[in-house]
Amino acid sequence: MRLKNIPVATWASLLVVASGVFLTSCGGGGTGNNIPFPVVTLSPASASVAAGAPLQFTATVVSLTNTTITWSVNNILGGNSTVGTVSTSGLYLAPASVPNPATVTVKATSSAETNPYGAAIVTITAPVVNAAVAIVPLDASILAGTAVQFAATVTGTDNSAVTWYVNGTAGGSSAVGTISPSGLYQGPTTVPNPATVVVTATSQASTSDSASTTVTLTSSNTAPLFVNFGLNGNTGNPNTAHYNGLFTTIKVCLPGTPICQIIPDILVDTSSVGLRVLDSALTIVPATELGTVKDSSGNQVEECVQFPDTSYTWGPVVVADVVLGGETASAVHMQVMGDTTFPVPYSSCLSLGSGPSLDTVAALGANGILGIGNSLQDCGLNCAGGQTFSAYPYYVCPNYVCQAAPLPVVQQVANPVAFFTKDNNGVEIILPAISSVGAPALPYANADGTGLIPAGQLIFGVGTEPNNGLGSATLYALDTNGNFPQVVFDGFTYSSGGSLNTAANALYLANPLALGILNCADNPYYCPGSTTPISLTTYGANGASGTVVLNIANADLLFADNPDFSAFNNLAQESISGLSTDYFELGLPFFFGRNVFVGIAGTTVPNSASAPNGYVAF
Amino acid sequence: MGKGSLRKRRRGSMIDRYGWRSMKTFCGVLLILMLGAVPMWAALGEPESTVSADGQFLRGQIRDEVHQGYRLHQITDPSGGVIREYVSPAGKVFGISWQGPFVPNMQQLLGTYFTYVQQYAQAQTGRHSGPLSMQKDDFVFTCGGHMRWRYGRAYVPSLLPTNLSPEVVQ
């Protein structure tokens, strides 16, 4: 193409910028002597572009003779896959990965006589990736010194490589455990403090994208304690959500064999005694394979247990080896929840109150209940005969007709802790302190590994190991009913006393209405105008007394502010009907930030206190 | 006043009066009575007459007290549990309470009100432990405790004698 000469003075006004290709100047007049040196300029003159992304250049050619231009990248005509390509229209396409060096030069070169060119510096950056990282397994617990293999899945990018961190340190450390490039976590040989560490996998393609989970280290006499909504998750409805659910993981084995099943999500309950596992949860170790407990006539023993809220479970009493943490209770009697052989005896079992059956995951929100209260067996002498009483929990079903029956103490469902070979006189329950606004769960860590809230610890034995000494805790001997003999609140003595119950999701308090604390309008909890501290004085049967300060928050505000949170240390509700004989049942909120001991009746008490009915200490 | 001392005194007097043999006989008869379908003591909201019609053995086990504005029948079950029934001057059972190792037969104790508890309790989900409290129409109910010790209380506000507080039902 031939361009007409134009006066220099008019060039600027006549420039026509054709997208990326060239400029054609047309005009008339002027002389050859005035023809300027041809000029090519590129726009933009410098730019950054993500690998694999396009970038449009515009070349402006000022020439009277030739406006044809050619495009190159690093002087390679049209570029290539390493440095990126550029089309005849100036569309630059960055290479799929960042070249080395990461800057390239894009040129538009004129075919005019002096081959003038315009150049732009392009920096190729790592591609913007919205990578999502996921880790399995979640919230593992392992014995100190053992290992667990993690796997990370990266989506949103072709680069699946991750970098592993433990507590924010790439590769971890000997104190908190190490992790290999392939995700094999090797726990430290001693339990760190806190016992929970955070494992983080960060996408190498996009270092701002990561996922984290926790590992809780246990020692030979500890098991992890988790707080969450349980297997039914967050229902989003304060009337049905299982706030402050306390869970652990157990192992159940066929007696005397290595055939075992690890079962997570077992409710931890200091208000009951004995292990009860859903029939449906016993898959590797089926209930039918476990040892049976029979009466003298050879009838399988069944049990109907009614819980304090009138819910119940019905199922056979069986024999299993039960492993908690590193301790084993051999041939301990436990209950299978749910029975397909014998129907629930409606006339007696269900006349006791008749709440819902807990014998499904949907009803229980867990795989079972670990009762670690203050006695050896769930019933004791009252169920062992000598008296006949329709409220016996034990039944036999000759000819498929189930009748309440006495059962010798040694055959009853037993506290597995009491059947360990050591560390068998009780437990210590340690839950970390949490914020007054609550916590999502225990354990918990943000995706980037920050914000660790450790799991709790269930420690077996009281005063039997370096990790379970009573220390300065006050020991409260329980009365014959298993309660604090009395509780004093707001100047009034409550002679029904109270108890500590890990399975209760709130603080059940008597008569806070006297302090102006009102019930919420649409859920069962308290809704004071602002968080209100209360002070209780608890008494032991051994004469001990102490002050317990608790906070009552507005439950509506707690739930509204953090609808995903499951753990609250200030969730409370009315114990009974505001009557003066009420009973104080201090549920899980009491346990956050405390070390609480539960001593089993009849065991050796560490400090020689008199506690024939067992004790609690904190 | 401690409940323990009350229970001991009651038991002692019963044994003194009837001796161990009678105690055993009583237990056997009580079993038969309790396994039967007919309520053997007055149910909540019903006339007191069922109590007095219960026969010699149950009456022997019941301690009757007359208080200002109401009468109290106290029954000790074979496990040592205590059931108290509160009767108005009009002769109606207006309140019931219990404490002991086992839950008493609530169907018998609550009579027609048992349905309320059943319906309410079965609608409860998401909690495994902790007490159960409810109020529906003219019925107030609560129960709780832990393994080996249960307590509970129920009353009918409209049947409360004049000038009497629900506090008496304890």
What are the domain boundaries of chain A? 8-125, 132-218, 223-419, 431-617
CB-nearest to A272 from B101, B146, B151 is B146
Q: How many CB atoms lie under 10 A from the CB of residue A14?
A: 14
Q: Do B153 and A577 touch (CB under 8 A)?
A: yes
CA nearest to A77, candidates A273, A138, A69, A288? A69
CATH of A8-125, one of 2.40.30.10, 2.60.40.60, 3.40.50.12780, 1.10.8.620: 2.60.40.60
Q: List residues bridging with A263 in a β-sheet.
A: A250
Asked if CATH classification 2.60.40 holds for the domain at A431-617, the reply, yes or no, is no
Contact B34 A482 (CB under 8 A): no
Q: Which of A347, A296, A343, A354 is nearest to A316 (CA)?
A: A343
The tens digit of pLDDT for each residue in B89-147 reads: 999 999 999 898 888 888 888 888 999 998 888 887 766 578 888 888 899 998 889 99
Give CA–CA dist A111/B86, Å, rounded: 112
Interchain CB distance below 8 Å, A269 and B143: no
Contact A316, A344 (CB under 8 A): no
Q: What is the model's pLDDT at position B50?
A: 64
**Residue from A442, A562, A581, A569 nearest A506 by CA:** A569
| Residue A596: closest CA among A503, A455, A502 | A502
Average pLDDT along chain B: 72
Q: 10 Å Cβ neighbour count for B59?
A: 14
Judge whether residue A5 has pLDDT over 80: no
- CA A594 – CA A588 distance, rounded (Å): 11
Q: If you search the block for the tokens 């506000």, which residue do you land on?
A: B157
Picking from B11, B32, B135, B147 by the largest number of A CB atoms within 10 A of its own CB, the best residue to mutate is B147
Minimum CA–CA partner of B2 in chain A: A495
Distances (CA, A) of A256 to A26, A224, A290, A330, A460: 100, 25, 11, 8, 22
> Which positions ≥6 away from A26 have C-beta within 8 Å?
A3, A4, A6, A14
User: Would you say A271 and A504 are in contact if contact means Cβ atoms under 8 Å apart?
Assistant: yes
Indicate yes or no: CB of A269 within 8 angstroms of CB of B167. no
**What pTM was computed for the model?**
0.81
Phi, psi of A255, deg, nearest 5: -55, 130
**Cβ separation B147–A378 shorter than 8 A:** yes
Mutate to test the interface with A, among B129, B139, B150 (most CBs of A within 10 A): B129
Q: Quick one: CA dihedral A99, A100, A102, A107, positive or negative? A: negative
Q: Do A353 and B125 touch (CB under 8 A)?
A: no
Contact A232 B4 (CB under 8 A): no
**Which residues in chain B have their CB less than 8 angstroms from residue A541's CB?**
none
Alpha-carbon gap, residue A432 to A512, rounded angstroms: 26
Query: Using a CB-CB distance cutoff of 8 angstroms, which residues of chain B are in contact with residue A354?
Result: 106-107, 114, 117-118, 121-122
Q: Do B27 and A388 touch (CB under 8 A)?
A: yes
- DSSP of A556-617: HHHHHH-TT--B-SS-EEESSSS-TT--EEE-HHHHBT-EEEEEPTTSPPTT----TT-EEE
Residue A532 one-letter amino acid: T
Of A140, A136, A440, whose CA–CA distance to A264 is shortest? A140
Per DSSP bridges, beta strands A572-574 and A507-509 are parallel
Give the distance, in angstroms, between the CA of residue A35 and the centroid of all CA atoms in the same chain.
Answer: 76
CB contact under 8 A, B121 and A267: no
Tell me if B117 and A358 make a contact (CB, 8 A cut-off): no
CATH number of A223-419: 2.40.70.10
Instruction: Give the chain A residue nearest B102 (alpha carbons).
Output: A391
How many domains are there within chain B? 1
- What is the chain A residue with the closest CA to B23? A387
Question: With an 8 Å Cβ cutoff, are B126 and A232 in contact?
Answer: yes
CB atoms within 10 A of CB A527: 18
pLDDT computed for residue B78 by the predictor: 72
Which of B77, B128, B144 faces A583 most closely, judged by CB atoms? B144
Residues of A within 8 A of B35 (CB-CB) are 348, 390
Cα separation, B161 vs A95, in Å, equals 91
How distant is the Cα of A385 from the closest Cα of chain B, in angstroms? 11
| b/e A496-518 (16+ beta carbons within 10 angstroms → b) | bbbbbbbbbbbbbbbbbeeeebe
To the nearest whole Å, the CA of A132 is away from the closest chain B CA by 32
Q: Give residue A404's pLDDT.
A: 87
Which among A196, A138, A201, A146 has a CA at the least distance from the CA of A168?
Answer: A201
| Percent of chain A at pLDDT exceeding 70 | 91
| Nearest of A566, A565, A528 to residue A550 by alpha carbon | A528
**Can you read off the two tokens belonging to residue A294?**
């029979």
- Contact (Cβ atoms closer than 8 angstroms) between residue B124 and residue B143: no
- Taking the CA of residue A363 and the nearest CA in chain B, the distance in Å comes to 7
Q: Contact B4/A480 with Cβ under 8 angstroms?
A: yes
Asked if B131 and A575 come within 8 Å (Cβ–Cβ), the reply is: yes
Residue A12 reports pLDDT greater than 60: no
Contact B129 A501 (CB under 8 A): yes
Q: How many CB atoms lie within 10 A of CB B50?
A: 17
Across the interface, do A351 and B105 touch by the CB < 8 Å criterion? yes
DSSP state of A473: P
Residues in B closer than 8 angstroms to A370, CB to CB, are none
- Per-residue model confidence as pLDDT tens digits over A376-433: 999 998 898 866 555 678 999 999 899 888 999 999 999 999 999 999 999 999 999 9
The CATH number that domain A132-218 falls under is 2.60.40.60
CB-CB under 8 Å, B146 with A390? no
ipTM of the complex: 0.78
Q: Choose among A515, A486, A498: nearest CA to A578.
A: A515
Contact B138, B157 (CB under 8 A): yes
DSSP A33: G
Q: A with B: how many residue pairs have Cβ under 8 Å apart?
A: 199
Instruction: Please report residues of A whose CB lies closer than 8 A to that of B102.
Output: 352, 382, 389, 391-392
Nearest to B129 among A308, A347, A356 (CB): A308
Q: Compare CB distances from B148 to A235, A392, A482 and report the shortest one's residue.
A: A482
Mutate to test the interface with B, among A247, A344, A389 (most CBs of B within 10 A): A389
DSSP secondary structure of A297-360: TSPBEEEEEE-TTS-EEEEEEEEEEEEETTEEEEEEEEEEE--SSS---TTTGGGG----B--S
Task: Quote the mean pLDDT of chain A.
Answer: 89
Q: Answer yes or no: do A271 and B146 touch at CB < 8 A.
A: yes
Q: What is the pLDDT of residue A49?
A: 93
> Which residues in chain A have their CB less than 8 angstroms from residue B166's CB?
577, 579
Burial (CB count within 10 angstroms: exposed 0-12, middle 13-18, buried 19+), residue A182: exposed
Q: Is the pLDDT of residue B28 over 90?
A: no
Q: Are the Cβ atoms of B35 and A390 closer than 8 angstroms?
A: yes
> Cβ of B78 and A371 within 8 Å?
no
CB contact under 8 A, A576 and B131: yes
Q: Which alpha helices (H) appear in A19-129, and where do they start and end? A: none
| Radius of gyration for the alpha carbons in chain A, expressed in angstroms and rounded | 36
Contacts of B27 in chain A (CB under 8 A): 387-389
- Assess if residue B166 is contained within a domain: no
- Return the residue in A271, A310, A388 with the most chain B beta carbons within 10 A, the one to mutate for interface testing: A310
pLDDT tens-digit profile of A57-77?
999 888 777 778 899 999 999
Task: Output the six-digit token pair for A210.
Answer: 């990561």
Distances (CA, A) of A258 to A252, A261, A285: 10, 10, 11
**Contact check, Cβ <8 Å, A308/B104:** no
Question: What number of residues does chain A have?
Answer: 618
Torsion angle of the four alpha carbons A345, A350, A355, A357, in this order, in degrees rounded to the nearest 10:
-10
Interface test with B, best of A237, A360, A481, A580 (most B CBs within 10 A): A481
Q: Which residue of B has its CA nearest to A578?
A: B167
Please indicate whether the domains covering A8-125 and A431-617 agree at the CATH topology level.
no
Average pLDDT over residues A156-185: 95
Q: How far is B91 from chain A (nearest CA, A)?
A: 24
pLDDT of residue A10: 39
Closest-CA distance of chain B to residue A502, Å? 9
Q: Which of A390, A590, A613 to mutate to test the interface with B (most CBs of B within 10 A)?
A: A390
At residue A308, the pLDDT reads 86
Cis geometry, peptide bond prior to residue A137 (ω within 30 degrees of 0) = yes
Q: Considering CB atoms only, which of A353, A373, A506 is closest to B103?
A: A353
The mean pLDDT of A523-546, rounded to a whole number, is 94
Q: Measuring CA to CA, how many Å separate A5 from each of A116, A150, A297?
A: 18, 73, 121
How do residues A267-311 score in pLDDT, each as one tens digit?
999 999 999 999 999 999 999 999 999 999 999 999 999 888 888
For residue B15, give its domain range. 3-161
Token look-up 């059943």 returns: B118
Give the pLDDT confidence of A340-377 residue by residue, as tens digits.
789 888 777 776 667 889 999 999 999 999 999 999 99
Per-residue pLDDT at A389 = 59
pLDDT at A245: 97
Q: Are A342 and A397 in contact (CB under 8 A)?
A: yes
